């Protein structure tokens, strides 16, 4: 028995290589994953893909050896973004494993697992069972077939599917700066956006898992600086920044100003509602209150969920939602097996911009109604005690409403609100604040932070 609890987290496998995991562990996890999906659905094949990190190929190959040992075939899609892996699991209707540590530094790697049809696997939906199987690494079942491994390049099919969902061929010509952060966007963007009325200015398209230019984490404003400068320098219409595995996208307008993921969620939601093929839109509880307002104004039905892709995808399946968005710039589409894809979200924004003549800042202004703090992390020794102290400060105040769907959400009578959530993996409290104006937001932000950090 080995203890894998330090690397098998709430949503995926993640850890430092080789300190926390290596090819031996990957082989165990591959066998466990194969046994799990075979027992659950009788699956006889899984598909894998990997990012550009130095450790990704050896880890994915070791994982494949584990899968094969349980009599389950492996289809290797090779280099790909995480949403390409979801496309593979959806289009081939087989379970999938993506080798990536997303935006984490170079010494990390991980695995994102899914069922056939890109259905999620998380802590509450199979990941604990897979961990226990991998820890034991002993099986009663004897495989009844000789498994095989094959390679299949799915990049062209992935691009064609995305282009079938958003037609960019008739938009006005746009100048687009794309910062791939030396991640997988540098592999997928040139194929997906080829031969369209787009002048793409590439930043850091060279695949390099050491991330020599900046971290591939656009959620940190420091990693948007190069893109913002390039948009202004190039006189571009829009800037796009992808994270390391290109399942998230961040948008910068023609002035070099970031567009909030909540505004992008509202914009894409309006486009999906306009198709007339459904009314339900999912948003997590940290997105701006403008999102449900705008969804209702366009005839939709907003549904609020906890933060995290497994919760979003489960709620999309339950409600048959057409689209879902998170504050972290994950965007989910029913037409993409309810999985998240930064590329498809980017194409929707390009279409919305190119189908009319206004600059992006004017286009998105209608979707940005409130002042938000963004996510602020505080290191704490006792998250529960700090949260309880904040709750006590507000729970008896007149006109205040409190809910605990995911952490602590407090709504004030002036329209301000905040959410305080503990991290699943680190000793952190995450604070998000929104208010009708910047001054109100700053006052509320500072008051809560004073209690959290006291």
Residue 264 preceded by cis peptide, ω within 30? no
CB burial string 397-413: b at 16+ within 10 A, e below: eeeeeeeeebbbbbbbe
Inter-residue contact 434 to 289 (CB < 8 Å): yes
User: CA–CA separation, 59 vs 322, rounded Å?
Assistant: 35
Catalytic residue among 55, 102, 288, 416: 102
Contact 281, 321 (CB under 8 A): yes
Please say whether the dihedral angle defined by the alpha carbons of residues 304, 308, 314 and 317, taken in this order, is positive or negative: positive
Q: Pick from 185, 190, 308: which is nearest to 243 by CA?
A: 185
Beta strands in 40-126 (DSSP E): 45-50, 73-79, 96-99, 108-114
Is residue 102 part of the annotated active site? The answer reads yes
Select from 375, 372, 378, 377 the least CA-distant residue to 435.
372
Q: What is the CA radius of gyration of the chain?
A: 22
Calpha distance 352→158 (Å, rounded): 22
**Catalytic annotation, residues:** 102
């Amino acid at each position: 028995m080995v203890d894998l609890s330090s690397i098998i987290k709430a949503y995926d496998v993640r850890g430092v290589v080789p300190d926390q995991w290596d090819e031996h562990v990957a082989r165990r996890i591959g066998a466990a994953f194969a046994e799990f999906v075979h027992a659950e659905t009788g699956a006889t094949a899984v598909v894998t893909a990997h990012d550009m990190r130095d450790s990704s190929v050896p880890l994915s190959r070791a994982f494949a050896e584990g899968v094969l040992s349980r009599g389950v075939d492996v289809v290797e899609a090779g280099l790909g973004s995480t949403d390409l892996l979801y496309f593979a699991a959806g289009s081939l209707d087989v379970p999938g494993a993506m080798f990536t540590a997303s935006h984490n530094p170079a010494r990390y790697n991980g695995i994102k697992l899914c069922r056939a049809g890109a259905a999620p696997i998380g802590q509450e939906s199979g990941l604990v069972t897979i961990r226990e199987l991998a820890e034991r690494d002993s099986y009663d079942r004897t495989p009844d077939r000789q498994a095989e491994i094959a390679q299949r390049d799915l990049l062209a099919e992935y691009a064609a599917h995305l282009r079938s969902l958003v037609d960019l061929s008739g938009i006005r010509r746009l100048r687009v700066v794309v910062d791939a952060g030396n991640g997988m966007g540098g592999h997928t963007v040139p194929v997906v956006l080829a031969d369209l009325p787009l002048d793409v200015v590439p930043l850091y398209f060279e695949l390099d898992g050491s991330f020599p230019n900046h971290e591939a984490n656009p959620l940190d404003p420091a990693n948007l600086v190069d893109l913002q400068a390039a948009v202004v320098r190039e006189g571009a219409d829009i800037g796009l920044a992808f994270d390391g595995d290109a399942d998230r996208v961040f948008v910068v307008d023609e002035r070099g100003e970031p567009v909030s993921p909540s505004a992008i969620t509202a914009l894409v939601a309006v486009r999906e509602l306009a198709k007339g093929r459904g009314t339900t839109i999912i948003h997590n509880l940290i997105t701006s209150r403008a999102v449900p307002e705008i969804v209702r104004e366009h005839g939709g039905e907003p549904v609020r969920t906890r933060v995290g892709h497994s919760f979003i995808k489960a709620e999309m399946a339950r409600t048959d939602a057409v689209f879902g968005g998170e504050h972290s710039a994950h965007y989910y589409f029913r037409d993409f097996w309810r999985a998240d894809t930064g590329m498809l979200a980017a194409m929707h924004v390009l279409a919305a911009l190119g189908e009319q003549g206004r600059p992006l800042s004017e286009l998105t202004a209608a979707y940005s109604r409130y002042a938000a703090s963004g996510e602020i992390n505080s290191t704490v020794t006792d998250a529960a005690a700090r949260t309880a102290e904040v709750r006590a400060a507000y729970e008896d105040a007149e006109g205040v409403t409190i809910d605990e769907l995911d952490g602590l959400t407090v709504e004030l009578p002036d329209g301000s609100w905040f959410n305080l959530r503990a991290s699943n993996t680190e000793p952190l409290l995450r604070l998000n604040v929104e208010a009708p104006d910047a001054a109100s937001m700053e006052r509320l932000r500072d008051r809560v932070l004073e209690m959290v950090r006291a």
